[in-house]
Amino acid sequence: MPRMPNVKVCIKEGPGKVAWVEMPLPDPGPGQALIRTTLSSICGTDMHLVDEFPDIPAGVPMGHEAIGVVEAVGEGVERIRVGDRVVAACLTSCGSCERCTGGDPQVCSSHGAPMNLLFGGQGEAFLLNGADFSCAPVPDGLSDRDAMLVGDILSTGFGAIERAGFREGQTVAIFAQGPVGLCATIAAKTYGASAIFTVESVPERIAMSRRLGADQVFDPETAVEQIMAATGGRGVDVAVEALGRQQTLTNCFRVVHFAGTVSSVGVYGGQEQVSIPCDGTFYHRRFVTTLCPTGRGRLEHLLGLIQQGRLDATPLFTHSMPMSQVVRAYEMFRNREDGVLKIALS
């Protein structure tokens, strides 16, 4: 007999549309955990999945950011127990394939990327694949909001800085201060950047950028000249592309000095390809990119930093709504109403 015959969950109803519906949720299979959601949110990637990706069919449960309490575990799950409060990784992993054991569980080959994305986090409960490796218990002292973002955007923002080989005391420019860009700003601050320049034009995002660590925020129109001026013509050590546009990627190359690094984490939705400038100094800079780093160890690392008081991403939750109003929340997020960054859905 099914443990939880029906749950309410947000699904992709069709291109550009989501709906709050009731659907059956089976018992957890081998390696899976059934998690009763206590907090979820909407991510920019959700918009791409709903609007653009034809291989995400209608009826698919949405949501890949979630915290909840383990209600049941399937065969073979050993590292988490019923009753644990856990934060899920947005990309699940098996823990045993070549990529997982090689340190890149976000591109786990057991499910075939991109389908190792977590689905169903925006619902009353969801099934998590590879539960031993795809979630981490939340330490007692941390609230759901404290811990929530480590599974996705906080890890991406930190990954943008870490993959660039950033060292304490270096200078950083971050193009766009949406949720991921703001997380990169938090990371640059946490790891001890000597100067953080951000690029943004939306007033609420400019204010949030300053609050989370930016020393100066520049308008996109004049950012390249201003960053070069602010660094005495030298350029920064690390530039992060957090928007997913050709122009901002090009601008990143223009503000990074020789031997510096351009780090790209923006989602170039709808673009077949992007190009990088090769004006004779192409070889002088490094270029790195990353999917959101995941895996249990990654979650534990970020939770540890939060526990130590080294970062606080909770200001990103600008709004909160009941999970049952998720359709309205999508509309708000899509239209960027009222300066919204992250909506806490519970």
Please give the span between the terminal C-alpha atoms of the chain, in angstroms, as a whole number. Answer: 28
Total number of residues that touch Zn ion (CB under 5 A): 9
Residues near 276 by Cβ (< 8 Å), separated by ≥ 6?
A: 249, 250, 253, 262, 282, 287
Residue 100 is a binding residue for Zn ion (CB under 5 A): yes
Question: Considering beta carbons, is residue 205 or 342 the nearer one to Zn ion?
Answer: 342
Residue 113 is a binding residue for Zn ion (CB under 5 A): no
Question: Considering beta carbons, is residue 105 or 260 the nearer one to Zn ion?
Answer: 105
Question: Considering beta carbons, is residue 11 or 108 the nearer one to Zn ion?
Answer: 108
Please identify, among the stretches 20-28, 101-109, 164-172, 329-337, the one whose residues bind Zn ion according to the rule CB under 5 A.
101-109
**Shortest Å, Cβ 134 to Zn ion:** 10
**Shortest Å, Cβ 116 to Zn ion:** 8
Residue 108 is a binding residue for Zn ion (CB under 5 A): yes
Residues in 56-95 at the binding interface with Zn ion, rule: CB under 5 A = 93-94
Please identify, among the stretches 20-28, 79-87, 97-105, 328-336, the one whose residues bind Zn ion according to the rule CB under 5 A.
97-105
**Shortest Å, Cβ 184 to Zn ion:** 14
Question: Considering beta carbons, is residue 40 or 93 the nearer one to Zn ion?
Answer: 93
Question: Considering beta carbons, is residue 86 or 224 the nearer one to Zn ion?
Answer: 86
Which of 21, 47, 60, 97 lies at the binding interface for Zn ion (CB under 5 A)? 97
**Shortest Å, Cβ 105 to Zn ion:** 6
Which of 152, 200, 237, 241 lies at the binding interface for Zn ion (CB under 5 A)? 152
Please identify, among the stretches 15-23, 36-44, 233-241, 326-334, the one whose residues bind Zn ion according to the rule CB under 5 A.
36-44
Contact yes or no for 184/240 (Cβ under 8 A): yes
Question: Considering beta carbons, is residue 43 or 187 the nearer one to Zn ion?
Answer: 43
Which of 37, 41, 45, 209 lies at the binding interface for Zn ion (CB under 5 A)? 45
**Shortest Å, Cβ 121 to Zn ion:** 10
Question: Considering beta carbons, is residue 144 or 152 the nearer one to Zn ion?
Answer: 152
Residue 242 is a binding residue for Zn ion (CB under 5 A): no
Which of 35, 43, 118, 199 lies at the binding interface for Zn ion (CB under 5 A)? 43
Question: Considering beta carbons, is residue 9 or 94 the nearer one to Zn ion?
Answer: 94
Find the helix packing angle between 179-190 and 203-212, rounded to 10°: 20
CA angle 121, 126, 128 (to 5 degrees): 95
Which of 110, 129, 226, 264 lies at the binding interface for Zn ion (CB under 5 A)? 110
Q: What is the 3-state secondary structure (H, E, C) of the chain?
A: CCCEEEEEEEEEEECCEEEEEEEEECCCCCCCEEEEEEEECCCHHHHHHHHCCCCCCCCCECCCCEEEEEEEECCCCCCCCCCCEEEECCECCCCCCHHHHCCCHHHCCCCCCCCCECCCCCECEEEECCHHHHEEECCCCCCHHHHHHHHCHHHHHHHHHHHCCCCCCCEEEEECCCHHHHHHHHHHHHCCCCEEEEECCCHHHHHHHHHHCCCEEECCCCHHHHHHHHCCCCCEEEEEECCCCHHHHHHHHHHEEEEEEEEECCCCCCCCCCCCCCCCCHHHCEEEECCCCCCHHHHHHHHHHHHCCCCCCHHHEEEEECHHHHHHHHHHHHCCHHHCCEEEEC
Site residues (vs Zn ion, CB under 5 A): 43, 45, 93-94, 97, 100, 108, 110, 152
